[in-house]
Structure 1
Amino acid sequence: MLETLRQIVQEVNAAEGLNEALDIIVRRVRDAMGTEVCSVYMRDPVSNRYVFRATEGLNKSLVGQASLASGEGLVGLVAEREEPVNLEDAETHPAFQFLQDIGEEAFHAFLGVPIIHQRDVLGVLVVQQAQRRRFDEDDEAFLVTMSAQLAGVIAHAQVTGALQEELLDGAGPARINGIPGAPGIAIGTVVVVSPGADLYAVPRRMVNNRRAELRAFRQALAAVQGDIRAVSDNLRGEMSAEDHALFDVYLGILDDSAIGGEVAALIKAGHWAQGALSQVMIRHIRHFERMEHSYLRERAVDVKDLGTRVLSYLQANDPDREQDYPEQCILVGEELTASVLGEVPREQLAGLISVRGSGNSHVAILARAMGIPTVMGAVDLPYTRLQDREVIVDGYQGAVHLNPAPEVRQRFLDLLDEDRAINKDLEALRDLPCETLDGHRLPLWVNTGLMVDVGRSLEQGAEGVGLYRTEVPFLLRDRFPSEEEQRQIYREQLQAFAPRPVTMRTLDIGGDKALPYFPIDEDNPFLGWRGIRVTLDHPEIFLAQVRAMLKANEGLGNLRIMLPMVSNIAELEEALTLIRRSHRELQQEGFFGDLPPIGVMVEVPSAVYQARALARRVDFLSVGSNDLTQYLLAVDRNNSRVADLYHSFHPAVLHALNLVAEAGRCEGKPVGICGELAGDPIGAVLMLAMGYNVLSMNATSLPRVKQTLRKLTYTRACEVLAEVMEMEDAAAITRRLDALMVESGLEKFSRAR
């Protein structure tokens, strides 16, 4: 049964759209259960009716036409109760409703289970049989398991299938949800970024010069065939005749009478060579993957390899044309990289969308520094079909809008104009202090990682750097940077901000930040080997970095060193010993400079409860609210399934933040915060009231936070904090904070636009 489940899920995963996926489900489930009927009803979100979408055993001519309202009939009952309904004789049940001409009169036994994805009832899976009997426990368990396994696949196919089959043809609007990468609104034209030789990432494109495309394909095909013949000749004496015959099979696959001919036919129909090759090869790969015999299933790897080889030649021989970027360019790709951003003129780069990646990936960090609205993790986006289409990027909500209705497009145009007007008004704040109406001063610092951050940060009036991510230069290299390379990088940052303080976090890798040349493969990376744990296990890396920082600080004196992911006192004391040792050794080598202030990041629950003990041993504390929130709530903020449980205003988070601020006060040590919460205007109000001494954020957020705090009194902030600390629900706290922004005339600066 497990093997049957695996095969069905695999086949459904390989389907090209929702309709094909549903057809596979009803056919395979009916065969697996040995029943006479299997059908799927899918909920239409507009009418809220359950539409007859696929069947084996009933009248297929009514597919897409027959439907039942929510709570109507046995299908509606299953959906309403959100649990299986198993009946010996369906017609005798009070909820039974006869559907005209569907052909179920002859079938009495009924078993229906809901298809539920993330609490949303997508539809109902039904099996029926003529014999009057209850389906047994094994049948029910199998169908429930099948439904649970397929729910996510169906949800994905429902989105991408609908987009590809209908929405991309202009039939209606769609919103694809992702993860906010960088705030802001962008409306522009898509340019799809394709990685080298990836069949699944080739964008769809039509061409006029079909003859040139066909010629390019023939040349690439001939080159691969030549490669195969050369390898075949080299291995002729090394392999058995049977094994060697495989090369003839490969040549046959690429022949004009096989796959080669199919690709040529698509090119003649107007598709560009790379897109035609991609479509044909993926179709054949999926065909092999669905085969039951393991030997034949493994041939999918061979077909993929052949297709990739041809694609490589096509891409290598593509005329070296300069990409003509549109005026408002939206870069879209499966996984965007920092290097791709540099290829587009900055004045034309309006927005970014990455199918993979998180808000912590370095392309998102760079986008925030550059002020480019960005959506990450848009996994349901059919990005290869979006070339030259207009889309809306909502970096506030982490959403992409396709084919927006006129009124929706106008709303985003208004928001875009409002953002520009706000940013222009906020320019006047650059040289003004962040000070409340009643004179309470709160310095605003920035988070940086690249030199490109510097100019933008200073333009926005940053008073210092609360977090310099030293891992970013490590991420952009193919090896560990040397001590001297690090010294030069750190010196540039320190000089650029001098005499303003620059807080450098020691190397923080692990979790979702793995170095390509130092991979960390773990089942649970966020609770694994990361941050200070890695560098203490590799003191040679830690010591080189600390020495580079201390050398870079000579003659400037604005360095602060911060230790990430500290979870106990022993880790801190070991790190302090190494830092002091580095300082002594440099003094012996003739280095002149005091030991800089050293601080600890509070980002795990254990550090919250040992905050006073940590504060006694260091010069400052700094809360990393992003990690602290996810660890307190046991929620991976980059996981879309639980993203709605990640809430910065959860009462547990606020109480933890208050404890850390109090610990710093008790020990006479300054406490800062450098997570996303610090850059959220309404979050900044609470941090002000709690007594945080410094807020550090991305440069784009700084003017909005400054404007908000300059329009409020410290006394009012404390009153609101007292109110929300008595609340027990994150949603209620958010409503109260939103109300404060409205009361103060600051609603346009709130986080959610």
Structure 2
Amino acid sequence: MLNMLNTLRRVVQEVNAARDLPSALDIIVQRVREEMGTEVCSVYLFNPDTGRYVLMATEGLNKAAVGVVSLASNEGLIGFVGAREEPVNLEDAAAHPRFRYFAETGEERYASFLGVPIIHHRRVMGVLVVQQKARRQFSEGDEAFLVTMSAQLAGVIAHAEATGAIRGLGWGGEVVQDTRFDGVPGAPGVAIGQAVVMLPPADLGSVPDRHIEDVEAEQQLFREAREAVRDDMLQLSDKLASQLRREELALFDVYLMMLDDAALGNEVNALIAGGQWAQAALRDVIAAHVARFEAMEDSYLRERATDIKDIGRRVLAFLQEAGREQRVYPEQCILVSEEITPAMLGEVPKEKLVGLVSVMGSGNSHVAILARAMGIPTVMGVVDLPYSRMDGLELIVDGNHGEVYSNPSQELRKHYLELVQEERELSQGLEELSELPCVTVDGHRMPLWVNTGLLADVARSLDRGAEGVGLYRTEVPFMVQDRFPSEKEQQITYREQLEAFHPLPVTMRSLDIGGDKALSYFPIKEDNPFLGWRGIRVTLDHPEIFLVQTRAMLKASQGLNNLRIMLPMISSVYEVEEALHLIHRAYSEVLDEGVDVPMPPVGVMIEVPAAVYQARELVQMVDFLSVGTNDLTQYLLAVDRNNPRVADLYHSLHPAVLHALVRIASACRDAGKPMSVCGEMAGDPAAAVLLMAMGCDVLSMNATNLPKVKWLLRQISLTDAKALLDEVLGLDNPYLVQSSLHMALKRMGLGKVLIQSR
């Protein structure tokens, strides 16, 4: 077993290092034939454009047949393996009814046949075959080895195929266009521009060991390198200061803290004192920190490994006197990297930066938070992207759906240019639209609110005609600090938000950490954080945190009286009882201090299935219910929405989600209490039509999508919306729901603002 694993590892490494797909396939057939001791090994790849399997590499058959011999998808043993999607092991291949003989390959001498499919993300990419002259069945061990090899190589072949595709060439040399790479949405919007690949300034992994005699001189060299990077960070922070508010700029403090003696400095100096030169000392310290962070289960803390690596590379660059090359950035620059860091954003002139693409990371990354604040369309987690080969290529970044296109055709470019133009036209017509109420053609009033977390959101929200805040994410001020903010600090932050939107209502969600949101100074390490200690569960276990935050909210609302408080991740009546007890206690304490404020409305977020089934009980206890459709969809469908591998399964128009929403709306209507929706679903214009038809009282969304939703709802009647809802509630497939809904809206002439739901 160990020998097989070592062989696999060695072959995969060799294939990864291949310069192109043909070279990779040649390595595969050579190594597999050697390791299995067979006479023939071949790879057939499936060309979806022609529907045929093409012989792309062989060791043992006639090499002149490569690229010439091909079989239809239902033809021969190769087609049989592909159709079955499982191994085919034959003692006498020629006797099988699906056997097809090709004279040009010279394979008539080979009796034994073992073929396994090469499958990547459910797609059959090809077939890996070994053959032997002797008539015998390959052993179970042989079959297991080939299946394991095929599974390992599928991703490698897909990557090699993609590397050619981004340059506009398929593996057969044919011209291809509109190559799509899937990731997860980081920041909404669409960008078309030229890729600028930003590689790390230095490679820590390639630094060798070297003994030094002059410890003091080496430590001075390291000190100067740290100071140079510190100055760079401060300059980058200053460069971005005009675009970002205090909370976002505080992200740079994370970098500056890492450069302190107490963080990396002392550890590196200790290794230098032992005789190691500065570069290798830095390499070892950075590697140890990165390994610790990357091993953490929590996604937010894992992201910090990126920041540590970035700092290490930058310090190394100065130690190597490499500096940074002076680049000329294109007018429409799309920044592409394996791991985009906040510091990279400042290196591109702000007027030229139109999009971001990161191979690693999630919607929770620091860079995604900044991108949303800066309004830059962003796609994260594009794991299959051969980013190092993309410099200078034209790309389309679809931040709404988490998609990146390379080598776009004229048709696709035209489609996205129209989307960009429509977005621009909608924005230009915003002033007129922002002053108008959201009222349907038959007179139904639909209030549209916004979701915020950064002060940078305020102006954008008010410009777009927001009528309130349905979700203020209070965890953002907590995330950008290295300790819990004091009551006074929280009060100042909350006051800014409440004043900015006054007299409009602001719904502040109590601290919602855990799951995909964690605090570096309050780590939560769990095997399954999404089903663990998060949301109200954390704050009820730490009433001191909950009471301080509630008092800060109440004091911040003095004289404004536009505060609403919302409780996240509620799964039982008991949790609401406990939370209300603490809120009333904090309220009494604030009154005792002489602060004159009314008791604000309190609501519950419906985010887990348990809350859906207790909606009637919960709504009796509070003033309103608010549905967080992002988490509700995730929990109902058991799909991690930040995982690109299962992103296709996450769909907010899934029948289960729609029926759950109808159930909640019914509970609120019967109790005479308002229901709001504050997930991304509310910002999808087509979905907003259904939510309005269900009886939702408030829709709260990203400010970017508010004009689209308002435009569509002002063009439709509530009667038509209810008819659409009745139609789709009878469907059993989310994609059928979406297509039926879109077709109906297009027939009404309302198609220009539609977006694909996820």
TM-score, normalisation: structure 2: 0.81
What is residue 185 of structure 2 aligned with on the other side? 180
Aligned residue in 1 for 2:536: 532
Map Cα deviations across residues 24-54 of structure 1 (whole Å, 9 max, x no partner). Answer: 5434443444433222211123333222233
- What corresponds to 1:112 in structure 2? 115
User: How far apart, CA to CA, are the structure 2 residues paired with 1:192 and 1:736?
Assistant: 40
Deviation at 1:570, TM superposition (A): 1.8
Residues 95, 321 of structure 1: CA spacing in aligned structure 2 closer, same or farther, 3 A cutoff? Answer: closer
- Answering whether residue 347 of structure 2 is matched by residue 312 of structure 1, we say no
- Whether the 8 Å CA contact 2:91–2:112 is kept in 1: the answer is yes
Deviation for aligned residue 1:668 = 1.9
**SS of the residue 1:748 aligns to:** coil
Q: Select the residue among 613, 631, 634 that pairs with 2:635.
A: 631
Structure 1 residue 524: Cα displacement: 1.8
Deviates more, 1:469-478 or 1:713-722: 469-478
How many percent of aligned residue pairs carry the same amino acid? Answer: 60
Measure the CA separation in 2 of the matches of 1:639 and 1:233. Answer: 44
The verdict on how the C-alpha distance between 1:584 and 1:335 changes in structure 2, with shifts beyond 3 A counting, is farther
Match of 1:483 in 2: 487
Inter-partner Cα distance in structure 1 for 2:155 and 2:465: 46
Q: Could you tell me which of 21, 24, 29 is aligned with 1:26?
A: 29
- State the shift of 1:658 in Å: 0.8
Cα distance, 1:711 vs. partner?
0.6
Q: CA deviation at 1:226?
A: 6.4
Larger displacement relative to structure 2 (467-476 or 411-420): 411-420
Q: Does the CA contact (< 8 Å) of 1:164 and 1:382 recur in 2?
A: no
CA distance in 2, matches of 1:618, 1:184: 36
The Cα of 1:675 is off from its aligned counterpart by 0.6
Distance 2:497 2:569 in 1: 23
Could you tell me which amino acid in structure 2 is paired with residue 637 of structure 1? R
Equivalent runs, 1:166-565 vs 2, <5 Å: 172-173=176-177, 174-194=179-199, 197=202, 225=210, 312-314=316-318, 317-319=321-323, 325-338=329-342, 340-341=344-345, 344-361=348-365, 363-565=367-569
Distance apart, 1:389 and its partner CA? 3.5
Question: What does the per-residue CA deviation read over 1:232-291, in whole Å, with 9 as the maximum and x for residues that have no partner?
Answer: 999xxxxxxxxx9xx99x99x99xxxxxxxxxxxxxxxxxxxxxxxxxxxxxxxxxxxxx
Q: Which residue of 1 aligns with 2:55?
A: 52
Matches within 5 A, 1:608-623: 608-623=612-627
TM-aligned CA distance change 1:343 to 1:581, over 3 Å: farther
2:410 maps to a residue whose letter is: P
Give 3-state SS (helix, strand or coil) of 1:80's partner.
helix
Within 5 Å, which residues of 2 pair with 1:102-141? 102-141=105-144
Structure 1 pair 728–193 and aligned structure 2 pair: CA distance change class (3 A)? same
Q: Where does residue 276 of structure 1 map in the other structure?
A: none
Q: Secondary structure of the equivalent of 2:682?
A: helix
Deviation (angstroms), 1:71: 1.9
Corresponding residue for residue 206 of structure 1:
none
In structure 2, the CA distance between the partners of 1:322 and 1:118, relative to structure 1 (3 Å rule), is closer
2:723 to 714, 719, 723: 719
- Aligned counterpart, 2:754: 750
Q: Write out aligned runs for 1:618-697 (5 A).
A: 618-697=622-701
Q: Is 1:82 aligned to residue 111 of structure 2?
A: no
Residue identity matched to 2:418: D
1:13 Cα deviation from its structure 2 partner: 5.3
Residues 737, 593 of structure 1: alpha-carbon distance in 2 compared, 3 angstrom cutoff = same
Q: Is residue 16 of structure 1 aligned with residue 13 of structure 2?
A: no
Spell out, residue by residue over 1:301-331, the C-alpha distance to the aligned partner (whole angstroms, 9 max, x if none).
Answer: xxxx9xx789814577345777654332222
Q: 1:94 to 1:334 in 2, by over 3 A?
A: same
Paired AA for residue 193 in structure 2: G
CA shift in 2, pair 1:170/1:465, >3 Å: farther
Aligned CA distance change for structure 1 residues 68 and 682 (closer, same or farther; 3 Å): same
Note the C-alpha offset of 1:397.
Answer: 3.5
Query: What is the SS of the residue equivalent to 1:728?
Result: coil
What are the superposed Cα offsets for residues 111-131 of structure 1, whole Å, 9 maximum, x if unpaired? Answer: 111122232111111121111
Shift of 1:647: 1.3
Shift of 1:373: 2.1
The answer as to whether partners of 1:366 and 1:450 remain within 8 angstroms in 2 is no
Q: CA deviation at 1:684?
A: 0.4
CA distance in 1, matches of 2:346, 2:452: 18
**Match of 1:88, as an amino acid?**
E
Q: For residue 747 of structure 1, give the secondary structure of its aligned residue in structure 2.
A: coil
Asked if structure 2 preserves the Cα contact closer than 8 Å seen for 1:368 and 1:698, the reply is no
User: CA deviation digits over 1:547-600, x for unaligned, max 9?
Assistant: 221221122111111111111122222222222222222222222212211111
Q: Distance in 1 between matches of 2:149 and 2:170?
A: 29
Q: Secondary structure at the match of 2:752?
A: helix
Q: Does 1:732 align with 2:736?
A: yes
Determine the C-alpha separation between the residues in 1 that align with 2:647 and 2:501.
36
Correspondence for 2:605: 601
1:641 partner amino acid: R
Is residue 12–residue 21 contact of structure 1 (8 Å, CA) maintained in 2?
A: no
Matched residue count: 670
User: Could you give the per-residue CA deviations for residues 181-204 of structure 1, whole angstroms, max 9, x where no partner exists?
Assistant: 33332112333345564569x9xx
Partners of 2:650 and 2:584 lie apart in 1 by 38
> Which residue pairs with 1:280 in the alignment?
none
| Residues 1:67 and 2:70 aligned together | yes
Q: Look up the match of 1:158.
A: 161
1:134-149 matches, cutoff 5 A: 134-149=137-152
Per-residue deviation, residues 639-661 of structure 1 (Å, max 9, x unmatched) = 22221111111111100001111
CA distance in 1 between partners of 2:327 and 2:218 (Å) = 41
Query: Structure 1 63/509 Cα, relative in aligned 2: closer, same or farther at 3 Å?
Result: farther
- State the secondary structure of the residue aligned to 2:180: strand
Letter in 2 for 1:737: L
Evaluate the alpha carbon distance shift between residue 483 and residue 342 of structure 1 in structure 2; reply closer, same or farther with a 3 A threshold. Answer: farther
Question: Aligned AA for 1:8?
Answer: L
Tell me the amino acid that sits aligned with residue 402 of structure 1.
S
**Inter-CA distance 139–194: structure 2 relative to 1 (3 Å threshold):** closer
Change (3 A) 1:333 1:170: farther
Amino acid at match of 2:395: V
* 1:363-412 Cα deviation digits (max 9, x unpaired): 44554454332222211222233334332212334222222233433333
**Partners of 1:123 and 1:452 in 2: how far apart?**
50
Contact 2:200 2:313 (C-alpha < 8 Å) held by counterparts: no
Which one is further off, 514-523 or 696-705? 514-523
Per-residue deviation, residues 181-232 of structure 1 (Å, max 9, x unmatched): 33332112333345564569x9xxxxxxxxxxxxxxxxx99xx846598599
Whether the 8 Å CA contact 2:455–2:497 is kept in 1: the answer is yes
